[in-house]
Structure 1
Amino acid sequence: MPEIVAVLAEIADQMARESERGRVASYIPQLARVDPKKFGIAVVTAEGAVHVAGDAEEPFSIQSISKVFTLTLALGRVGDTLWRRVGREPSGNAFNSIAQLERENGVPRNPFINAGAIVVTDVVLSGHPPKEALGDIVQFMRFLAGNEEIVVDKAVAQSETATGYRNVALANYMKAFGNIENPPEMTLGVYFHQCAIAMSCRDLAHAGRFLAEDGHHPATRRRVVSRERARRINALMLMCGHYDGSGDFAFKVGIPGKSGVGGGILGIVPGEASICVWSPGLNATGNSHLGSLALERLTKAMGWSVFGA
C-alpha cells in the first residue's frame, strides 16, 4: 500500500492546479461568500493515525453531512419505526424536489434528500424544546469529533432561514399528509441550524469513525450504534448520499459517502478509515466537484473500495 502522506500531498497539489472548480452554493447567500480556491482533506485510519492536507483545519458549513448524524440519533430514539415515515430508496431526483414527494403521498424516498432529513429532524425534535433538540445534535457532534469547540454558524443559519422557501414548502406539504408531527416552523428551525454547524475536515473525519469501526466510538470504545445499524447507515450513504449523483459517486469512488452543499464530503472505508474532503465549488448535482475527484483518486491509490481492491 502506498504511503498515505505522499498520496494526500499529491492530491492536494493536483487540486490546487485544477482550473475547473465548480460553483459555490449561491442560493444560500452566506455560502456564496466562501472562497472557491479552498481545498482540504483529512483521513483518520482504523489505527487512529490522522493525516491531513490543504485547508483541513478550517471549519466550514457541514450542511447535509449533518443528516448522517441526525439519522443516527433518530434511529437511537425510535428504532426501525422510523422507516414508516421515510423510505430507503435512491431518489433519482434533485435533493429538494417536491414532485416526487407529491407522487409518494408525503413519504420521502430516503433520509438524505431534504424532505427525508426534515422528517428525521422532526423525530429528533419530538418531545423536546427546539433549543434542547439542537443542543443534543451539537453535543453528539462534539462527542464524536472529540472537539468541544464545535458550534452552529449563526450567520449561515440566519441566511438559510431567510431563503429556505423550498424547504418550508416541503415541510408544510408533509405536514398536510401527517408526516410532520411538530409545528413545521419548529422542525425547520432545528433543521436549518443543524445544517449550519461548522466543522473542519479533521473534525468530520473523527466524527465518522464509528461508521468505519462497526459502530464503536474509537476513543472510548463505547458503542454508538450496533454493528448492523452502522452497516445499514453506510448502505444508505452509498445508495443515497449524493442525491441524483449517488450512482456516479459509487461507480467512481466506491465507498459510502455523504455530501453537503457547503462543499464537504464524508467518506467511510469500513474497517480502514474515515475521510473528509472539502472544496466549496459544486458540480451539477450539488456535490463538491474537487471533493469527488479527490476521493476518486484517493480510493484508487489506496485500493479502498467496498467492491474490492
Structure 2
Amino acid sequence: MQTPIPDYLAEVLDKLRDDVSGATADYIPELANANPDQFALAITTATGGTYSAGDTNAEFSIQSISKPFAYAAAIMDRGLDRVIESIGVEPSGEAFNELSLDPETNRPKNPMINAGAIAAHGLLLGDKADPEERVARVLELFSRLAGRQLRIDDKVFQSELETADHNLAMAHMLKKYGILNDDPHEVVAGYTRQCSILVTVEDLSIMAATLANGGVQPRTRERILDADTARQVMSVMAVAGMYDGAGDWLTRVGIPAKSGVAGGLVGVLPDQVGIGAFSPRLDKHGNSQRARRAFEQLSKDMGMHLFAPSNGRLDVVDVKLETLKETFSLQGNVQFTAAAELLDLMEKSTAQNAVLLDVSGVYSFTDVARRMALEGLRRLRLDKRHVLLHDPWQVLADPHLGDGLYPENV
C-alpha cells in the first residue's frame, strides 16, 4: 500500500487553489516576476518522514524565513546573553520593515523584524568578522538543517540589493546606537545574500522539524542546535514570527511560524512536525495568502494547535511480526506523528495473510489520526490482506473502511 498522507495534502492544495487574492512582492523586481500559481505543501515528522504535494521541486528564495535560523546561529556563535544585549524578544505589533527599537535600550524589539535580523547577521562569528565568512556561515548551517547543499540566487540578491535603501537606513540607525559594530553596507549586503538562499517546501519542513526535534536533524540524526537554542528560536517564532498578525495567528492557528515575501511559510510543533508551504501571492501583512490558509486547514484537521490539551500522555507505535500475521499497536493520545509512523510501517508490511491493528492502549485519536489509521486498513484490505481490529473501548468509533465493509473485531 501507499501512504495516503500526500493525497490528503493534495486535497488541501486543491481546496485552496482557486484563491487568487493577494499579489507577488512587487517592490523587489525579481520576486514580482515569480509564477503566482505555484503552490506546494510539505510535512516532516520528528521521526524523519517527509510527505509533500504540489510544486515540491520549485525553488524560491528563503527571505525572512532565514531569520529564525540565522538567530540560532548568532546564539551559537555569541551566546544568548550577548545576543539579548543587542536584540529583544518582545512582539513589535508592527510590520516587518518597521524600525522598532526599544525606547530605553535602542535594541530592535525582536529578531523576526528586519532591524533585528540585520543585527543578528551582524553578530555572526564575532565583531569585525569577514562579511563573506558570515554568509558562508549561514549557508553551511542552512544546508545542514535541510540535509542537502543549498545555494544563493544571485539574481534575487542583486534585485533586492538595488532596492535595499530602507534596510540600509535601519542599519545606519543601528550603527548610530552601537547595536551594529561593523560597516552597515557590508552587513546589509550579507543579510541580503542570506535572504537569497534557495529552498523548497521540503527543505523548509526538514529545517523546521530539526527545531521540533530540539536541534537534532530528523534524517541524519546530527545534533545541529543545542536544545536550549531550539527552544529559544521556537519561542520567539511563536510571539513574533508573523509580525503584526502574530497574536491572531497564535490564538487561531497555534503553530509557531515564520513567513517570507517570496511566498514561503514555515511552521514548527515541538516533538511533532515541521511544515513548509509555498505560494507567491501575499496578503496585506506580507504573508503568503494560500500558504497561510493551508496552515489554518492543517491546524483544524490535525489538531495541531500548540496549546491543544493532550492530557500529558504520549502516543506510541509498535509492530510485531508473526508467521502469518502482523500486529500494529498504538498507545496514548494518537496524533498526526504517530499515525504517520503507523502508515509508514503498514506500507512496509510483509505479512503474508493478516494484519491486526491493536488500539486497546489508546486514549483518543485526533480526527485526522483516526482517518489515517482507517485509510491504512482500507488500503491493506485492497492489497488482499485479512484486516483485523482490536478496539475494546471503541476509540475508533464506527471504523468503516468504505463500501460498507468493516475490519474483523477480535
Report the TM-score range of the alignment, normalised by the length of the smaller protein: over 0.9
C-alpha displacement of 1:103: 4.1
C-alpha displacement of 1:62: 0.9
Q: What code does the residue aligned with 1:45 have?
A: T
C-alpha displacement of 1:67: 0.7
Q: What code does the residue aligned with 2:242 have?
A: H
TM-score, reference length from structure 1: 0.94
Specify the SS of the correspondent of 1:168.
helix
1:226 to 2:226 alignment: yes
Specify the SS of the correspondent of 1:30.
helix
Counterpart position of 2:10: 9
Q: Does the aligned pair in 1 maintain the 2:61–2:198 contact within 8 Å?
A: yes
Counterpart-to-counterpart distance in 2, 1:69 and 1:214: 13
1:147 to 2:151 alignment: no
Counterpart position of 1:26: 26
Give % identity: 38
Gaps of 5+ in 1: none
Counterpart-to-counterpart distance in 2, 1:268 and 1:105: 31
Counterpart-to-counterpart distance in 1, 2:53 and 2:288: 17
C-alpha displacement of 1:231: 1.7
Cα deviation 1:197-226 (Å, max 9, x = unaligned): 111001111122211112212233332223
Counterpart position of 2:290: 290
After the TM superposition, which residues 253-272 of structure 1 pair with which residues of structure 2 at under 5 Å, given as runs? 253-272=253-272
Counterpart-to-counterpart distance in 1, 2:158 and 2:103: 31
Counterpart position of 2:57: 57
Counterpart-to-counterpart distance in 2, 1:27 and 1:104: 33
Counterpart-to-counterpart distance in 2, 1:232 and 1:77: 15
C-alpha displacement of 1:227: 2.2
Counterpart-to-counterpart distance in 2, 1:151 and 1:226: 25
CA root-mean-square deviation:
1.6
Counterpart position of 1:240: 240
Larger Rg: 2
C-alpha displacement of 1:15: 2.0
Q: 203-212 vs 64-73, which deviates more?
A: 203-212
Q: 66-75 vs 227-236, which deviates more?
A: 227-236
C-alpha displacement of 1:7: 2.4
Counterpart position of 1:79: 79
C-alpha displacement of 1:40: 0.7
C-alpha displacement of 1:3: 5.2
Q: Does the aligned pair in 1 maintain the 2:174–2:180 contact within 8 Å?
A: yes
After the TM superposition, which residues 38-187 of structure 1 pair with which residues of structure 2 at under 5 Å, given as runs? 38-80=38-80, 81-98=82-99, 100-101=100-101, 103=103, 106-124=106-124, 126-148=127-149, 150-187=150-187
Counterpart position of 2:299: 299
Counterpart-to-counterpart distance in 2, 1:3 and 1:305: 22
Q: Does the aligned pair in 1 maintain the 2:261–2:288 contact within 8 Å?
A: yes
Specify the SS of the correspondent of 1:274.
strand
Q: 190-199 vs 123-132, which deviates more?
A: 123-132
C-alpha displacement of 1:241: 0.5
C-alpha displacement of 1:301: 0.8
Cα deviation 1:229-284 (Å, max 9, x = unaligned): 21221110011001111112112211110111111111101111111001111111
Counterpart-to-counterpart distance in 1, 2:112 and 2:54: 28
Q: What code does the residue aligned with 2:186 have?
A: M
Specify the SS of the correspondent of 1:76.
helix
Q: What code does the residue aligned with 1:235 have?
A: S
Cα deviation 1:138-169 (Å, max 9, x = unaligned): 11111111112x11110110011100111000
Q: What code does the residue aligned with 2:262 have?
A: G
More strand by share: 2
Counterpart position of 1:252: 252
Cα deviation 1:77-97 (Å, max 9, x = unaligned): 111221011100000111111
TM-score, reference length from structure 2: 0.72
Counterpart position of 1:275: 275
Q: Does the aligned pair in 1 maintain the 2:258–2:267 contact within 8 Å?
A: yes
Q: Does the aligned pair in 2 maintain the 1:15–1:39 contact within 8 Å?
A: no
Q: Does the aligned pair in 1 maintain the 2:47–2:218 contact within 8 Å?
A: no
Gaps of 5+ in 2: 310-410
Q: Does the aligned pair in 1 maintain the 2:47–2:219 contact within 8 Å?
A: no
Counterpart-to-counterpart distance in 1, 2:178 and 2:47: 46
Counterpart position of 2:373: none
Q: What code does the residue aligned with 1:26 have?
A: D
Q: What code does the residue aligned with 1:158 have?
A: Q
Counterpart-to-counterpart distance in 2, 1:85 and 1:19: 40
Q: Does the aligned pair in 2 maintain the 1:106–1:173 contact within 8 Å?
A: no
Query: Could you say which structure has the greater relative contact order, defined with CA pairs below 8 angstroms and 6 or more residues apart?
Result: 1
